[in-house]
Chain A
Amino acid sequence: MYRLEVLDPVAAPPAASARPAARAGSLDGLSVGLVWNKKRGGHEALQRAGELIRERYRGVTLRTYEGGQPCAPQLLEQASRECDAFVGATGD
């Protein structure tokens, strides 16, 4: 019997440092941002998600944000100021 001991090549993942934001239980009366990275297909997905949110909840305001890959920090900061919740789509 031969015993081969080796060092693990895999680096440890970063520790979780953040928890998701609190959820309000409803989207009624909220502003919802639709964030698209301009990759094909994502726009249609967000349009449909927005339609369904409007059908399901009252008084929702939808705002669309078109970012790149990666999304510019200024745009994300603007979106964070203007909306209460977000749906994103990248096309893949």
Chain B
Amino acid sequence: MIFLEKSGKPAVAIVAKSFESVAAATAAAAGMPDFRYAVVPEVLTGIGPERIVGHVGQAFGVIESALTTEAAPRGVEHPTASDRLVFEGEDRYDAFERMNRHLLEADCGDGFPLIPPTPGKVNAVLTGSRRDRQEVVAVLPPAMRAATVEKIAVNAVMAGCEPEHLPILIAACRALPGFGSLARTMLMSTGPHAPLLVINGPIARRIGINAGCCALGPGKQSRHNIAIGRAFRLIIMNIAGAIPTRTDMDTIGTARKFSLCCAENEAQTPWAPYHVDLGYSPDVSAVTLFETRDEVDVDDLTNYEPEGVLDSFAAACSFIPAHYTATSFTTGKPTDRFVLFMSPEHAAICGKAGWSKQSVKEYIHQHARINARLAANWGRLTPARVRPEWRWLLQRSAAELERLMLTVQESAHSYDIVVVGGAAGKSMVFSTMCGGPSTVVVDDELR
């Protein structure tokens, strides 16, 4: 709509009250804070035509006015973005608590205590990069704010990061725009989309980023993982501008949003590391940003042959209602994917039997299926979303659809494999729906 307004045509968007802050933030990010919208009291997706008609009737005066009359500049509530903040307390701890209360109230915190980003600590973290502190390494959606090296470092300090983490965070920021417009979906959607950072290459080994037991869990073995993942969450809030309940409208939320980072277990994979498959040298370090919508445990301590293990993966993946049959969230190519975190034990079973990574993907793709009744149920609610070549599904009876099994993804290319974890036949799959992944080389060595 803002594109249309920018083309010189009056435009107005009908927006639910609970999404008004999203509309305002979107307009500001697009450089047009005075874009007009008409607020209705409820989200329209689930309330039925009668109430929708009533709400639009009540909002029509605003719609009409927005299209026909000029309005004074609305003025935008901007974050302070000052250089320095000062907190005075009776002692060091009182000042620390005051800072934390302020930053949490200002929507700058994740809810856990924040390390004070003092000038000294920020300067120390900045020694982890050769880049100038004012260099803009990326412009981050949804707010389209500039991620300078310094702002990244400030958030890194708050999360407990060390200088050696900074190049990874810079690469992660550079990876985010790689999701294109679906970065907004990842960060603002009503769904539980959480970014996942996977680190490949020598920097992971040098720092000690955990790729083994409890790689995504709490504890000292994952302290680097936790700090980097947490810093990226703070960057998403404070630089990218995805603020819970204001612009991040996640219906329930997920603990995956606090921190989600690990390395690939390159020492125990039978295949080439993930980034090498993309064409990078094993000597290059890279950060891959995945989106995750959920996580499912793949518990298979029973099978010793690839087919059995991979059937367990297929079973774990067989819950996505074949979203490729619809168009609404696509950009001309499938945006649903699976990230398979394969434990070294499961990977070894496949590798020793001579299965390539591609053959593993093909097998899982062919066996991860859902019956068409469930897939069609998703599309039937709004048939206009169903792709023309799949609309025949809407004409079939429930009994016919029940017998028809569809693959959950459109092709084997929608599966990514990363070897992660300790010694057990337990793997994990994450489904995604925002496209990606996005891989960026860590091009910045420590000073």
List A residues at the B interface (Cβ < 8 Å). 1-27, 32-33, 35, 37-46, 48-49, 52-53, 56, 66, 68-73, 76-77, 79-80, 83-92
> Which of B69, B117, B158 makes the CB contact (< 8 A) with A25?
B69
Residues of A within 8 A of B12 (CB): 86-88
User: Are the C-beta atoms of B81 and A8 separated by less than 8 Å?
Assistant: yes
> Which of A11, A16, A85 makes the CB contact (< 8 A) with B32?
A16
Further 6 A-B residue pairs, CB within 8 A, beyond A2-B90, A18-B5: A7-B85, A11-B239, A20-B34, A24-B10, A52-B56, A85-B9
Interface secondary structure of A, over-half rule: loop
User: Are the C-beta atoms of B56 and A9 separated by less than 8 Å?
Assistant: no
Of B41-49, B192-200, B216-224, B414-422, which binds chain A?
Answer: B41-49
| Interchain CA distance A2-B40 in the complex, whole Å | 48
> Which of A4, A13, A37, A90 makes the CB contact (< 8 A) with B86?
A4
| Interchain CA distance A33-B11 in the complex, whole Å | 9
> Which of A16, A23, A42 makes the CB contact (< 8 A) with B33?
A16
User: Are the C-beta atoms of B31 and A16 separated by less than 8 Å?
Assistant: yes
Residue of A nearest to B96 (CB): A4
User: Are the C-beta atoms of B44 and A89 separated by less than 8 Å?
Assistant: yes
Residues of B within 8 A of A5 (CB): 84-86, 118-119
| Interchain CA distance A41-B56 in the complex, whole Å | 11
Q: Is B428 an interface residue (CB 8 A)?
A: no
Nearest 3 pairs of A and B residues by beta carbon:
A41-B44, A17-B31, A4-B95
Residues of B within 8 A of A84 (CB): 9-10
Residues of B within 8 A of A4 (CB): 86-89, 92, 95-96, 98-99, 116, 118
User: Are the C-beta atoms of B13 and A2 separated by less than 8 Å?
Assistant: no
User: Are the C-beta atoms of B384 and A43 separated by less than 8 Å?
Assistant: yes
Q: Given that A2-B95, A19-B34, A89-B13 are known contacts, is A10 also in contact with B81, CB under 8 Å in the complex?
A: yes
User: Are the C-beta atoms of A80 and B4 separated by less than 8 Å?
Assistant: yes
| Interchain CA distance A39-B9 in the complex, whole Å | 23
| Interchain CA distance A87-B45 in the complex, whole Å | 17
User: Are the C-beta atoms of B76 and A37 separated by less than 8 Å?
Assistant: no
Residue of B nearest to A36 (CB): B384
User: Are the C-beta atoms of A13 and B328 separated by less than 8 Å?
Assistant: no
Q: Is B7 an interface residue (CB 8 A)?
A: yes
User: Are the C-beta atoms of A27 and B19 separated by less than 8 Å?
Assistant: no
Residues of A within 8 A of B64 (CB): 27, 52-53, 56
Q: Is B132 an interface residue (CB 8 A)?
A: no
User: Are the C-beta atoms of A10 and B79 separated by less than 8 Å?
Assistant: yes
Q: Is B385 an interface residue (CB 8 A)?
A: yes
Residues of B within 8 A of A53 (CB): 64
| Interchain CA distance A71-B119 in the complex, whole Å | 44
User: Are the C-beta atoms of B86 and A25 separated by less than 8 Å?
Assistant: no
User: Are the C-beta atoms of B44 and A44 separated by less than 8 Å?
Assistant: yes
Q: Is B271 an interface residue (CB 8 A)?
A: no
Q: Is B258 an interface residue (CB 8 A)?
A: no
User: Are the C-beta atoms of B328 and A44 separated by less than 8 Å?
Assistant: no
